Chains A and B, each alone.
Chain A
């Protein structure tokens, strides 16, 4: 086991012991293994790094969900990015995670190697600077990310408008987390007994955003931070609820997450974006789970500016990322994991992104 940083070893030992004891009670309550789902790439990574899955024992099955924004980006959207990056006088600005994700005909890294202009940005405002520096080129920002990131992209669009920039546009593949959780529960493919809710999405939307999920589906939701102790504490809270037959929202990341979230960020996001349907890789179309530019911001919509239509694309037949993203399979339960599919030669997005469940598992499993 990897040593857990953060809290004192005694505390962590106590937490693990609590979790194991509660897990037995919870398993008895549900009549089988307790299925908990984390919905955050950073959690996937932290859980694999600290070896938390092994610490919990057999009574708990801790699965990953659709928590990595790059992983749930439909391959058709990736193809649109490839198309844009191949066009002359066009610069595609993107977060780095997207560069190696395969579409149906390669990745942005390959397009870049062939001379396509792909600019990796850390902050969306770098796309603004790129547009100012290259007035004869079109700069397209790829908007990928959940509620954590969408407000920063909203600021980019507002700033571009304020500066009167006409050579910058946005390809929005933004998605929101709660509708995906509802869709997974409604599909009943996997019986889920609790959600470990994403800490930094929750900074924006607040812990209250999960109340209807807890109420409508009788499923406990606990917002978790990112230290091993934070995650174990949240798991403990979930197991306690399951053991007691409760279903409520709790917040184990109160140092950053308020019940109502960050209203400035939410206002920024919805001043620019309207809710629409979105296609999730591995899940399909989920109503009201996407963010598209509002009509008054349509001048910045890359789909309209370049007359684009997202193609329908099939994933690689040997890739089981869809099942991993729905919590139906752990990475190690994929026949391709570590064999046909490795970080150096990934078949699907979960092995590409550093936050993908498969990449996280692969990186730490032998440690």
Chain B
């Protein structure tokens, strides 16, 4: 596969996710302005932080006047899952020059990972595998920047009752459900979901990380028994 066709493969794998990512980017822009964040700062956060659910949380924390150190900690906690994506793609990217590793790490989001990983696992030794991840990452980055900008520009003109914040759960459902193809994976999802609901009262989304760990442990435990 040529770099060009690998790049386009990644772009195409990601494109359907824009139906969820774009509304969520728009609603992020609106929420950021409502939290008192200046329009330029709201747009710049999308390239400096570049993490949908963490940006949403950060905008809300800033709006609530949370201390800066706590906000940084909460963003780190909610993005910790990306360390595991990092571990998952690391062997595939191992031989690449550092500039590629830096670029692909910056672009390593839930959506880009989910869009590219089937191809990466199928052809881990392909010399153009990283172009698939780059295509998916770039497509998501571009869509996210434009959606954020649209949210900031549209702002209060957006009609109420569209429930655009529902876009993120729907995107994650579209990513996760097709991955559940055995009992261990189903158990991992059920354990993570139930724990997340039980621990939801914990402050600053700390329950989220415990819930992810509960899911991982349950999945690995059941997977090992067979």
Answer yes or no: are A and B bound together in one complex: no
Q: A-side interface residues toward B, CB under 8 Å? A: none
Q: B-side interface residues toward A, CB under 8 Å? A: none
